[in-house]
């Protein structure tokens, strides 16, 4: 009896310790159970991923051309370089889908100029890879859809100053690009070399051709950027010409549309383009959308040169009109 009392007394004395051990045991069991369930859930998730998610390697086209020039796909390095660009652009889905949408809007403006200037239609893809069909400016200072350098633009007749930059004027910039490409084609004898020179310059390309004693883009060893350049154009052409084959699905209504416009001739200074916009039933934002070559809020014109300002036929009704 004494031992029993002692045992009870010990239990009573050590009751908090026993409770802690019991609770700890329950906790460990729950943790173990949770860990086991989590592992099962993770495995189930991984199994579903493995069953449903697929990334497919692409087939190379049986043949490919650029500006009606055959691409030598029988060469192993040519195959691999084109394969790289096709995979990058196919699986960078958001970027390429935007290319598809934007090309519907802008190619219709570029194509007639290429035809008029007798430049192969495939060069519209050069503008696409240069800028993504956007009026961007590069760290090196190239600007507009065709990424024209300031010195090159001025040499070829574009007006470029703090108020006006015609590198952002799509029609004029396209004609300048065409003039360059015709000169390069005459110099190098092929459109693929003309395209490569657009990236690295005529003198740089000529130096490499002489150094390596070849006369074909696909036989040249070039820097990384120019070495990929023509392949990027070919890949863009291939994917945008066969979007369904590369998994791109869209509806006609998903494509960006060109708004109908008209031009007005201006041969005087406009001191305030915001006021000018309002007088033409649009706002400053819309004016700049259609005339990105206007770089500030004024159009100085002391020489009385005639400028064409583009305005939309379908009105973009700004708030100040709807509120009046």
> Token pair of 47, please?
């199994």
What are all long-range contacts of 159-167, with beta carbons under 8 Å and residues at least 24 apart? 162/295, 162/296, 163/294, 163/295, 163/296, 163/298, 163/299, 163/300, 164/293, 164/294, 164/295, 164/299, 165/293, 165/295, 166/293, 167/143, 167/293
pLDDT along the chain (324 residues), means of 10: 48 56 58 68 82 90 96 97 98 97 97 98 98 96 98 96 98 98 98 98 98 98 98 98 96 94 96 96 94 98 95 72 48
Residue 33: predicted pLDDT: 60
Q: Report the C-alpha gap between 139 and 161 in whole angstroms.
A: 18
Residue 290: predicted pLDDT: 96
For residue range 195-221, what is the model confidence (pLDDT) as tens digits?
Answer: 999 999 999 999 999 999 999 999 999
> Token pair of 56, please?
């497919």
Per-domain residue ranges for the chain? 69-243, 261-322
Residue 51: predicted pLDDT: 85
Topology given in CATH for the domain delimited by 69-243: Lysozyme (1.10.530)
Residue 104: predicted pLDDT: 97
């Amino acid at each position: 009896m004494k031992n029993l009392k002692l045992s009870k007394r010990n239990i009573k004395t050590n009751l908090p310790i026993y409770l802690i051990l019991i609770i700890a045991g329950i906790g460990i069991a729950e943790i173990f159970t949770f860990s086991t369930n989590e592992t099962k859930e993770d495995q189930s998730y991984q199994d579903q991923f493995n069953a449903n998610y697929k990334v497919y390697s692409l087939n190379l086209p049986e043949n490919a051309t650029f500006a009606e020039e055959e691409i030598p796909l029988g060469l192993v390095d040519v195959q691999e370089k084109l394969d790289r660009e096709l995979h990058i652009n196919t699986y960078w889905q958001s970027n390429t889908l935007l290319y598809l949408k934007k090309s519907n809007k802008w190619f219709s403006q570029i194509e007639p100029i290429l035809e008029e200037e007798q430049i192969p239609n495939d060069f519209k893809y050069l503008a696409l890879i240069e800028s993504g069909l956007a009026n961007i400016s590069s760290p090196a200072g190239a600007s507009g859809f065709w990424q024209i350098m300031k010195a090159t633009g001025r040499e070829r007749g574009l007006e470029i100053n703090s108020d006006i930059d015609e590198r952002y004027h799509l029609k004029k910039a396209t004609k300048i690009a065409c003039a360059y490409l015709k000169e390069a084609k005459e110099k190098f004898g092929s459109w693929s070399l003309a395209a490569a020179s657009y990236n690295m310059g005529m003198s740089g390309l000529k130096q490499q051709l002489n150094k390596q004693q070849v006369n074909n883009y696909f036989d040249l060893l070039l820097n990384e950027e120019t070495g990929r350049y023509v392949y990027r154009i070919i890949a863009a052409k291939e994917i945008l010409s066969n979007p369904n084959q590369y998994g791109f699905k869209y509806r006609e209504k998903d494509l960006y549309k060109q708004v109908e416009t008209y031009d007005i001739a201006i041969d005087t200074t406009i001191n305030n383009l915001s006021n000018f916009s309002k007088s033409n039933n649009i706002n400053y934002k819309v004016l700049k959308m259609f005339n990105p070559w206007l770089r500030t809020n004024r159009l100085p014109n002391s020489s009385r040169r005639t400028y064409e300002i583009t305005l939309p036929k379908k009105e973009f009704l700004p708030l100040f009109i709807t509120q009046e």
